[in-house]
Amino acid sequence: MDISRVDLNLLIHLDVLLRELNVTKAASHLGITQPAMSNGLKRLRLLFKDPLLVRTSEGMAPTELALELKPAVREILFNIEKVVQPDRGFDLDSGRVFRIMASDYAESTLIPDVLSAVRQRAPNVTLDILTPSDVSFEDVEQGRVDMAINRFETLPQSFHQKTIWNDTFSCLMNVDNEIANNFTLDNYLAASHIWVSKTGFGVGVGMNPKDVQRLGWVDEALNEIGAKRKISVFTRHYQVAMLLAQQHDLIATLPSRAARLKSESPKLVSKEPPFAIPAFDLKMAWSPLLHHNAGHKWLRRLIVDVADQTLG
């Protein structure tokens, strides 16, 4: 095939079509008419000798060839963008809104310092902080949400990611808790506990104390030593867990950085867990569509700088 005869704009059409899986939405994204997008799809089918998108009962679905082409086309467009749109830096007077999905843990421990740095360096920038229940992988992949900051077990291979920091676990309890001065594993297991966690994306569902596989790191670590704790309350909010830990007989086992937020509270004391819990990484993840965006690069650098300063 003579590459000079190929309209490279068709690759842009293909990239958007494979993201939207809808001709009307793809046309709207590119600012062209639906007939023009339909004509572009027709030309793409002739070019690749494949239907690329086929109608199903659930809408348009990509063919096997289309799925193979998707990452290659994205990479080609990335490289073209880098050549024709060199990074001129982010305008610090910009009124841009950055949408960030942050877990309650990240929102408590990281976002306040990030907001402070943003207001100092780019006061017209706005942060829109979303919860994991507000966002899907597709929202991030298509760039509708700038980034996700959370603890992730799995991420789509197309996502870029960076570790912000590593954290351990601590046990937070009332200073007058009767086991505070005799914090053994047996006493820990005999106590009543606050479960707190929210990872990943999407709407959360109710928890079952018997479902160890879904309870997370703390209970999986206990399961490894053949032990189990008694959970009296489930919450998805670290601030709520820390408030509940003020009750005289409850224990919250939570990330150490969150526990340190209450280090000056006269009502609470923090203890090292009486069993081993693997440390975890807090990560930020973002779409390849935004990887070379000047504003996005600025925000990522700022977040890393803020995290490094807190580590110091």
CA dist list (Å): 23 to 28, 40, 48, 142:
9, 10, 18, 16
Hey, what CATH topology would domain 3-84 get?
A: Arc Repressor Mutant, subunit A (1.10.10)
Handedness of CA 23, 25, 27, 33 (dihedral sign): positive
Residue 63 tokens read as 């063919």
CB-based contacts of 109, cutoff 8 Å, min separation 6: 255, 257, 258, 261
Distance CA 143, CA 140 (A): 5
| The pLDDT of residue 5 | 66
Q: Is 11 helix (H, G, I), strand (E, B) or coil?
A: helix
Mode of pairing for the β-strands spanning 126-130 and 97-102: parallel
Per-residue pLDDT for the chain (312 aa), expressed as one digit of tens each?
A: 556 667 778 888 898 898 888 898 888 877 788 888 899 999 999 999 999 999 988 888 999 999 999 888 877 877 776 666 555 678 888 899 999 999 889 999 999 999 999 999 999 999 999 988 888 888 898 888 999 999 887 888 788 899 999 999 999 999 999 999 999 999 999 999 999 875 555 444 455 555 545 577 899 999 999 999 999 999 888 889 999 999 999 999 999 999 999 989 999 999 999 999 999 999 999 998 888 888 999 999 999 999 988 765
User: So where are the chain's domains?
Assistant: 3-84, 97-166+281-311, 169-278
- pTM, 2 dp: 0.69
Cβ–Cβ < 8 Å for 267, 174: yes
Helix axes 9-20 and 34-48, enclosed angle (nearest 10): 100
In the numeric block, the tokens 């829109």 are attached to 128
| The pLDDT of residue 116 | 95
| The pLDDT of residue 77 | 79
Same fold for the domain at 3-84 and the one at 97-166+281-311?
A: no
| The pLDDT of residue 198 | 55
CATH class of 169-278: alpha beta
* CATH 3.40.50.970, domain 97-166+281-311, yes or no: no
| The pLDDT of residue 203 | 45
